[in-house]
Amino acid sequence: MKRNVYLRTTLMIAESVATGTPQGSLRPSRFVCLCLIALGLAALGGCNAASSHTAYLSLPESNAVAAFRIDNGSAKFTQIVGSPYLTGTSPGPLVVNPAKTFLYVANRIDDTISRFKIDSSIGSLTEVAPRVSTGLTPSDMVMNGAGTFLFVVNQISSNISVYSIDSASGALTQVPGSPFSTAPNPVTLAVTPSSKFLYVVDSNLALVFGYAIGASGTLQQIPNSPFAVGNGPLAIAIDPGEHFLYVVNSSDGTVTIASINSSTGALSEVVGSPFGAGTTPIALCVSPNRQYLYIANQGSSNITGYTMDLTTGFPTLITGSPFGGGGAPALIVSDPNGNFVYTVSQTSSNITVLSVTAGTGVLAATSESASTSVAAVSMFVTK
C-alpha cells in the first residue's frame, strides 16, 4: 500500500517534469513536499525487515566460530559481518544464554571456555577475557532454562564442571563441589527444561547417568541411575514437555526412548524401545511443538523422522522417511519456529535447509543452503 502511494507520487513528478509545467500544476514548493513525502515513505518501507534468528557453528580446524543470521520465513542464511570469530584451540560445543547476550564455547585442546558478548543488533561476537578453565577435553555443554548454570562434561577427566553465571556480566564461577565425578568417557549431556535433572551419556558403557540439580547447581545422582541404552550412544535430547528422553545408539542404528519421572527423574523405557534408525545415527533433534523427532544418520546419509505420541512416547515413522539429509549429516537442529530443519555435513562443510511440512512432519528439500570454510562440529540456533 505504502509502496503504491510512493510510486504514484514519483510518477506524478516525472509526468509534470516531462510536460514542462512546473510552475503550473507542480510548483517548486509542492515538488519539495512531494519529494520529502516519497522519501519518507521509502524509508518507512525499508524499516519493515523480516524477523530472524541467528546460528553459531564451531569450526575447530579454524579455531573460530561462524555466525549466520537466518530469515524466519525463507531460512536464508546471511553470514554476519566479521564472522568467523577467533576462539581458543579446537572449539567444540557452544551455547547461547536465553537472553542472547553471551555465547560460551568450549575449547577442547585448551580445556577452557571462551565467553563472547553478543551484539544485540548485529549478532557479532566479541570475546570477553579471561577464558575459564574446565576439565580435560570438554566434549559437550548445556545451560539450564533460566540461564543461571552452565554444565560441561569433560571426556578425559570423566567429570562434570558446573558454573554459576552472572546474569549481567556473563562471568562463570565454578559452584562448590564442582567438578562432579562421573563414569569414564562421558560424551554428551542434556538438562530438563525445568532444570531439575541432568542426564549424562557414557558411550563406552552404553549408560545414561541421571543427576538431580540442587539450588546451588550441585549434582546428586538419581536413585536407580545409571540407565541402560543401546550400544554406542552419542547424542541425547529431551522433549520440551519434559516427558521423554531420546538417545541415539550409533553402533546399533537405533534410538532409545524413555519416559522421565517428573518427581524423581528416573527413566523408564517406553514399550517397544529401542526403535529403528538408519546407519550410524549420531545426532537428533525434537521439533519445538514436540510432535516430531528427527535423527541424522551419518552412515546412510539420510534422516529418520518420527511422529511422537505425546502421551505414550511411542513413535510412528513419518511417511516418506528416511529423507535425504544433504550428505552424511553429522548435526541436525530444528529452527525455533519448527518450520525448518538444518543439517550440517562434516564431509562437505555444507549446511542444508529442509522444510518441515506442517501437520505431517515430512521433510522437503529447499533451495536455501550455506557453507562454512571448514567442517563444523557443533551448531547452536537461537530462539
Partner 1 sequence: MTIAPEGTARSNAILAVAFSLMLLLPSLSRAQEAARLDVFGGFSYMRFDSPSIGYANYSNLYGWNAGATANIKLWLEVAVDLSGHYGSHLDVYNYTFGPQYTWRRENYRFFVHGLFGKDQTRANITQPTRPYFESVGRAYGGGGGFDWDCSPRITIRVVQADYLRTDTFGATQGDIRVSTGLVFHFGHIGHRPKL
Q: Under the rule (CB under 8 A), what is the footprint of partner 1?
A: 3, 6-7, 10-11, 13-14, 17-18, 20, 22, 28, 31-32, 35-36, 39, 42-43, 45-50, 52, 67-69, 71, 73-74, 76, 78-83, 85-86, 119, 121-124, 126-127, 129
Q: How far is the CB of 137 from partner 1 (least distance, A)?
A: 24
Judging by beta carbons within 10 Å of its beta carbon (0-12, 13-18, 19+), is residue 231 exposed, middle or buried? middle
Q: Name the one residue in this structure whose C-alpha cell is 523405557.
A: 269
Q: How far is the CB of 36 from partner 1 (least distance, A)?
A: 7
The number of residues making up the chain comes to 383
- Choice between 100 and 290, CB closer to partner 1: 100
- Choice between 112 and 321, CB closer to partner 1: 112
Q: How far is the CB of 13 from partner 1 (least distance, A)?
A: 8
- Choice between 31 and 314, CB closer to partner 1: 31
The three state secondary structure string of 71-140 is ECCCCCEEECCCCCEECCCCEEEEEECCCCCEEEEEECCCCEEEEEEECCCCCCEEEEEEEEECCCCEEE
- Choice between 38 and 162, CB closer to partner 1: 38
Which residues are CB-contacts of 104 (< 8 A; sequence separation ≥ 6)? Answer: 94, 95, 96, 97, 113, 114, 115, 116, 141, 143, 150, 172
Backbone torsions φ then ψ of 85, nearest 5 degrees: -105, 135
- Choice between 149 and 342, CB closer to partner 1: 342
- Choice between 79 and 289, CB closer to partner 1: 79
> Cα separation of 108 and 354, whole Å?
30
Closest residue by Cα to residue 123 from 95, 102, 153, 146: 102
> Cα separation of 98 and 219, whole Å?
22
- Choice between 195 and 339, CB closer to partner 1: 339
- Choice between 70 and 207, CB closer to partner 1: 70
Q: How far is the CB of 231 from partner 1 (least distance, A)?
A: 42
* Other beta carbons within 10 Å of 45: 12
Q: How far is the CB of 33 from partner 1 (least distance, A)?
A: 10
Question: In what helix (H) or strand (E) does residue 4 lie, and over which residues does it extend?
Answer: helix 2-18
Q: How far is the CB of 132 from partner 1 (least distance, A)?
A: 16
Structural contact between residues 131 and 179, judged by C-beta atoms closer than 8 angstroms = no
